[in-house]
Copies of this chain bind each other. A is one copy, B any other.
Amino acid sequence: MRPAIHIENNGVPVYVQIREQMLRAIGAGVLTPGEQMPTMREVAVTLKVDLNTVRHAYTELEETGAIVILRARGTYVAERPPPVDPARHAGKIESLAQQAIATAHAAGVDPVDLAERILQLSKRSRDKK
């Protein structure tokens, strides 16, 4: 399956965003072990970023054992991808949640309203599929 990658202008390097989202796609089962990853060029063109930027992300993914890169043959999800550390993932959620609360507070918005709106929007886009 082709993961939907989304690049944002947060100050976070593009290659980091690609790396994280690919990791999530693998962890979530969107990309399964042995399956071919999207081609570097494919990702580069789709996201309108440089080929070397994608390679940067892929290289790091290979270093962590998440994927295997075969020259001229493509890249594939590793047969035994490193387990997604549950604590690490939970920490990310926690962090994002607190950030969202702070931001909402600063804008005079009730975090509960925000959360409910997020739910509506996400579930709606999920139904499309």
Which chain A residues (82-127) contact chain B, with CB distance < 8 Å? 82-84, 89, 92-119, 121-123, 126
- Does A44 belong to the interface (CB within 8 Å)? no
- Does A72 belong to the interface (CB within 8 Å)? no
- Does A70 belong to the interface (CB within 8 Å)? no
Range for the number of chain A residues in contact with chain B: 35 or more
Q: Knowing A66-B106, A93-B113, A115-B118, say if A11 contacts B21 (CB, 8 Å).
A: no
Q: How far is the CB of A91 from chain B (nearest CB, A)?
A: 10
Instruction: Report the separation of the CA atoms of residues A50 and B83 in the bound assembly, to the nearest whole angstrom.
Output: 36
- Does A78 belong to the interface (CB within 8 Å)? yes
Within 8 Å CB of A109, what residues of B?
24, 89, 92-93, 96
- Does A40 belong to the interface (CB within 8 Å)? no
Pair A99/B23 contact, Cβ less than 8 Å: yes
- Ranked 10 nearest A-B pairs via Cβ: A24-B108, A27-B98, A27-B102, A27-B101, A65-B106, A115-B118, A26-B102, A97-B117, A111-B122, A20-B108
